Chain A
Amino acid sequence: MTELIITLAPGADRKGVAERLKAAGFRLEQELEALAMLTGHADPEAVARLGAVEGVAAVEESQPVRIPPEGPQGGAR
């Protein structure tokens, strides 16, 4: 299972899109209402199918995010 970020198309009905995604194999975990996004998991082979669901603008894999490694000038003291 891959963690996915679903960005909804402008004006799309979030609940309706969520239902269609679930039917296409998406395990919904978070509804980000203020951003019009959904996050969750799906099998990698389902990704293309999810992208074709009506009301979906983009399907992207969640990436690792980190603190930028500290610059060479400083160092904690």
Chain B
Amino acid sequence: MADLMQNPDSIIADLLEAGALDAAALDPGAPIETGRRIVTFREDAAREGAAALEAMVAGKLAHSGDFSGHAVEEAGIADAAGLVFDEISVAVLGAEAGAALAEAMMASAGAADDSASDSAILAVEPEVLVFPAGISADEFLRGFAAASTAIRDGLVGRGAEISPAPPPGEDRAPDALAVGNTWGILATGAHASRFSGAGIKVAVLDTGFDFRHPDFAGRPIAHSSFIAGETAQDGHGHGTHCTGTACGPRAPAGMIPRYGVAFASQIFIGKVLSNGGGGTTATVLAGMNWAVANRCEVISLSLGGGGGPYVAYTAAGDAALRRGCLMIAAAGNDSRRPAVVRPCSAPANSPTIMSVAALEPNLTTAPYSNGPPIDIAGPGSSVFSSYPMPRRHATLSGTSMATPHVSGCAALLAQAGGPGMRAGTLRARLRAMARPLPGRPDVGAGLVQAVP
């Protein structure tokens, strides 16, 4: 089993000896575990989680942030049970510490259930190597060696590159390695879903998309701009972030957690907000018309305005439903709970459109999240996702971030349920599958859940 800093060649040797790389294990669907474990902390409690982890494994953890200005050196973490990547709230545990953690968790399994949502530790998962499907065993093994090197280089080099831009040459790691999942992916259960959104068209009507983003390289993206004088290229950032949450990749390259729900869905980018972030009812309706005409089963709207419900938005939502499309929109961020609760903004307040509230990582209603009418809630605060280059990724908060989590889950469910699972049926099923959050105001049916 791999130790924290074990040489990648010897990891492969160990796995070969254990039979993990024989023909049966080379099934592309079968994950190859390295023996290390990935621990994901709650976004706002990484320090607390690391302390709890140290107690559970009775060992010291090294922190990437402690190596400021220098690469994480092997000598510096030789005695460490694991390494915490503070900037992404994730830790990697060596095999020995991982086994100790598994024992500690078994011992407290009964108590863990009730306090799960309050725990600083969101998930413990085996570290697995992820490769594109449909490659030969020979390619797989060569890829395995390359990926192992990438893990090791990632561990050693991370301390030196706290800045988001990796050094040239490492920009595209040779193979994808998923480093855990964001809290939104875990809270919705998207990481455990058998579905990918394949065959489902997801329209994101927003500020456009960064078509040069490396996390989406090779992915076909349909697009159209409804803003005069601007292409669909995202000059703002919001649209690229929302698209990442709904449709981002299963395993982004580099030491990046999975942040996208429907990773194999077909992406439709409709630019209805300018690079300055503004639009009008007319530009939004033009985008809706395009998405419905293209029969996008899911239409994600992280935008809003005052007043309403408007006849036009309600009629547009109805036209969508009659053609098998479901519109999902942000409730808005105008509240300051508990003192001030504002009503849901338009178009989310139209009864033919699904409205989405935002949750904090501890699953309470986000203080900014608007009030009725609300259908469902999604992870909204401290959401990590794609962002236009060169920044690459960013962490943002809002009902804008909750909405694409619901849209992604809708795409997974539409794929799972087939042609009968569309429009109003899809909406009802999403609500029925949501995790109820008793005592939390204005969350509708509760936290959206991915179909297992």
**Contact, CB under 8 Å: B394 / A76:** yes
Does B285 sit within 8 A of A, measured CB to CB?
A: yes
**Chain A positions 1-46 with a Cβ under 8 Å from a chain B Cβ:** 3, 5, 7, 29-30, 32-37, 39
**Contact, CB under 8 Å: A70 / B293:** no
Smallest Cβ-Cβ distance to B335: which chain A residue: A71
**Contact, CB under 8 Å: B285 / A66:** no
**Contact, CB under 8 Å: A34 / B399:** no
Within 8 Å CB of A36, what residues of B? Answer: 315, 319
Q: Contacts A66-B303, A67-B238, A74-B382 given; indicate if A35 touches B288 (C-beta within 8 A).
A: yes
**Contact, CB under 8 Å: A7 / B380:** no
How many angstroms from the CA of A74 to the CA of B44 in the assembled complex?
10
**Contact, CB under 8 Å: B273 / A66:** yes
**Contact, CB under 8 Å: A37 / B316:** yes
Smallest Cβ-Cβ distance to B289: which chain A residue: A32
A57 partner, pick from B238, B273, B278, B315, beta carbons under 8 A: B315
Number of chain B residues close to chain A: CB under 8 A: 59
How many angstroms from the CA of A49 to the CA of B387 in the assembled complex?
47
Does B152 sit within 8 A of A, measured CB to CB?
A: no
Does B217 sit within 8 A of A, measured CB to CB?
A: no
**Contact, CB under 8 Å: A34 / B394:** no
> In angstroms, how far is the closest chain A Cβ from the Cβ of B317?
9
**Contact, CB under 8 Å: B307 / A68:** no
Smallest Cβ-Cβ distance to A32: which chain B residue: B289
Q: Contacts A67-B302, A70-B398 given; indicate if A30 touches B282 (C-beta within 8 A).
A: yes
> In angstroms, how far is the closest chain A Cβ from the Cβ of B203?
12
How many angstroms from the CA of A30 to the CA of B367 in the assembled complex?
39
Within 8 Å CB of A61, what residues of B? Answer: 281
**Contact, CB under 8 Å: B305 / A66:** yes
Q: Contacts A37-B315, A58-B312, A65-B279 given; indicate if A70 touches B397 (C-beta within 8 A).
A: yes
Does B30 sit within 8 A of A, measured CB to CB?
A: no
**Contact, CB under 8 Å: B360 / A67:** no
B207 partner, pick from A67, A74, A76, beta carbons under 8 A: A67
Smallest Cβ-Cβ distance to A5: which chain B residue: B312
**Chain B positions 19-44 with a Cβ under 8 Å from a chain A Cβ:** none
Smallest Cβ-Cβ distance to A59: which chain B residue: B311
Does B417 sit within 8 A of A, measured CB to CB?
A: no
Does B196 sit within 8 A of A, measured CB to CB?
A: no
A72 partner, pick from B278, B293, B316, B368, beta carbons under 8 A: B368
How many angstroms from the CA of A70 to the CA of B174 in the assembled complex?
36
How many angstroms from the CA of A68 to the CA of B238 in the assembled complex?
10
**Contact, CB under 8 Å: A66 / B278:** yes
Does B415 sit within 8 A of A, measured CB to CB?
A: no
Within 8 Å CB of B323, what residues of A? Answer: 34
Within 8 Å CB of B307, what residues of A? Answer: 63
Within 8 Å CB of B366, what residues of A? Answer: 71, 73
Smallest Cβ-Cβ distance to B315: which chain A residue: A7
Q: Contacts A5-B312, A57-B311, A71-B367 given; indicate if A65 touches B278 (C-beta within 8 A).
A: yes
How many angstroms from the CA of A7 to the CA of B346 in the assembled complex?
16
> In angstroms, how far is the closest chain B Cβ from the Cβ of A66?
5
**Contact, CB under 8 Å: B289 / A65:** no
Within 8 Å CB of B190, what residues of A? Answer: none
Within 8 Å CB of B293, what residues of A? Answer: 33-34
Smallest Cβ-Cβ distance to A71: which chain B residue: B368
Smallest Cβ-Cβ distance to B397: which chain A residue: A74
**Contact, CB under 8 Å: A73 / B319:** no
Contact with A along B231-242 (1 / 0, CB 8 A): 000001110000
How many angstroms from the CA of A67 to the CA of B206 in the assembled complex?
8
Q: Contacts A7-B311, A60-B312 given; indicate if A37 touches B289 (C-beta within 8 A).
A: yes
> In angstroms, how far is the closest chain B Cβ from the Cβ of A69?
6
Within 8 Å CB of B394, what residues of A? Answer: 76-77
**Contact, CB under 8 Å: B289 / A71:** no
**Contact, CB under 8 Å: B310 / A32:** no
Does B49 sit within 8 A of A, measured CB to CB?
A: no
How many angstroms from the CA of A67 to the CA of B301 in the assembled complex?
10
**Contact, CB under 8 Å: A65 / B381:** no
Within 8 Å CB of B80, what residues of A? Answer: none
Within 8 Å CB of B282, what residues of A? Answer: 3, 5, 29-30, 39, 62
Question: Can you list 13 A-B contacts (CB < 8 A)?
Answer: A5-B281, A29-B282, A35-B285, A35-B316, A57-B311, A66-B303, A67-B236, A68-B304, A71-B333, A71-B368, A71-B380, A71-B398, A74-B395
Task: List 6 A-B pairs, minimum CB-CB distance, nearest first.
Answer: A74-B397, A71-B368, A58-B311, A32-B289, A62-B281, A34-B292
